[in-house]
Amino acid sequence: MTMDFAATGRLVVRISPADVGKRVSVRRVLEIADGQPTFSDTIGVLASWDEGVVCVTRRDGETVRIAESSLVAGKVVPPAPVRRGALASTGELQEAASRAWPAIETERLGEWTLRGAGGFTRRANSVLAYGDPRVPLDEALDFVVRWYGERGTTPYLQVPDDAPLAAELERRGWPREADTLVRTSPIAPLADLPGAEGVTLTREPGDSWLASYHRTGELAEQALKVVTGGPSVWFAAMPGAIGRGVVDGRWALFGAVEVEPAYRRKGLATAVMAALARRALEEGASFAYLQVEADNDAARELYDRMGFTTHHGYHYRRPSP
């Protein structure tokens, strides 16, 4: 944490569990030696505050666990400034998306992240293959195949479309699957969309939300761990429609937007997005992003009307059978 002095010179903790999802600066005591404290500072998104443990996710993706009893100062700080020349890098959004749809277990291989969730969704059971694995590629791929083989799942790699790795995997005969677009939009215009007043937002999905999601089945336990994970998670529900939002600093992920067939073309998806955008705006987010399969024309048209534009694309690769 950074030091936050009151007029008397005392350190003050000015954050609480109500600030989950916001960017904070905190200071904690590491140890006291010879009567002198040693401090450690952390700046990042307040991911959770439960059972006496404060979790702050830094910009590099590392989550720092801090005992509440060790806090000596803390405050909410403005979102990280947008870098000149780009809304965000592909890597930044890839990492944010991975935090917003977290795997149950992970392992690092250089700059790659192997993710496993018992088979629930390809995204949570694939390698975030962005950057350098820091070993020869053949060795890295062998490690990936073994890792997922031990867990009984398909060894998928999530690869940005323009990454040199895509061409290398093509040459090795790893088929390409599930082309996906990452689309972004400013939050403020989304918060002005109609219908938000009819949407209920909760911290937990509830049985009816999970039933409407239609993607749990035999993997209900794994699904619950994934959908409830993330820095600041919100579940939206209204008669006939659901959605999920995750606030992570200046970014907010929108996903799991489902509308029952009998309720389609009535503006429910727009209402769900508006409600999630309003909450994200309240928590300090300034940009929204979502992931949509490239061949989902109906969803793409909806997001076009809302003002989303394509930031980058990615796809999955797996070994040839």
93-146 pLDDT, tens per residue?
Answer: 999 999 999 999 999 999 999 999 999 999 999 999 999 999 999 999 999 999
Q: Which two tokens stand for residue 224?
A: 């619950």
Give, rounded to a whole angstrom, the gap between the first and last alpha carbons of the chain.
50
Instruction: Name the burial class of residue 159, with classes exposed (0-12), middle (13-18) and buried (19+) by CB atoms within 10 angstroms of its CB.
Output: buried
Predicted confidence (pLDDT) at residue 205 exceeds the cutoff of 90: yes
Please name each of the domains of the chain with its CATH number.
17-76 (2.30.30.520), 90-178 (no CATH), 183-312 (3.40.630.30)
| Nearest in space to 225 (alpha carbons), one of 92, 120, 109 | 120
Q: Is 260 in a helix, a strand, or coil?
A: coil
The total number of residues written for the chain in this structure:
321
Q: How far apart are CA 118 and CA 45, in angstroms?
A: 27
- Please tell me the least confidently modeled range out of 5-9, 172-176, 229-233: 5-9
Per-residue confidence (pLDDT) for residue 10, from 0 to 100: 57
| Burial readout 292-306 (b: 16 or more C-beta within 10 A, e: otherwise) | beeeeeebbebbeeb
Per-residue confidence (pLDDT) for residue 152, from 0 to 100: 96
Mean pLDDT along residues 197-225: 89
- The 10s digit of each residue's pLDDT in 54-97 is 988 776 657 788 999 999 999 988 765 544 444 678 988 999 99
Mean pLDDT along residues 210-230: 86
Average pLDDT of every residue of the chain = 89
CA angle 152, 175, 147 (to 5 degrees): 25
Predicted confidence (pLDDT) at residue 39 exceeds the cutoff of 70: yes
| 133-136 CB contacts, 8 Å cutoff, 24+ apart | 133/109, 134/109, 134/110, 135/109, 135/110
Per-residue confidence (pLDDT) for residue 59, from 0 to 100: 67
Predicted confidence (pLDDT) at residue 189 exceeds the cutoff of 50: yes
CA angle 304, 247, 206 (to 5 degrees): 95
DSSP 274: H
Report CA 173 to chain centroid distance, whole Å: 31
Mean pLDDT along residues 140-160: 97
Q: Which two tokens stand for residue 117?
A: 């969730």
Q: How far apart are CA 272 and CA 303, in angstroms?
A: 13
- The 10s digit of each residue's pLDDT in 232-280 is 999 999 999 999 999 998 899 999 999 999 999 899 999 999 999 999 9
- Please tell me the least confidently modeled range out of 76-90, 142-156, 197-211: 76-90
Report CA 277 to chain centroid distance, whole Å: 15
| Nearest in space to 1 (alpha carbons), one of 60, 77, 82 | 77
Q: Which two tokens stand for residue 58?
A: 């830094």
pLDDT tier, 168 (very low <50, low <70, confident <90, very high otherwise): very high
Q: How far apart are CA 128 and CA 158, in angstroms?
A: 5
Q: How far apart are CA 161 and CA 278, in angstroms?
A: 32
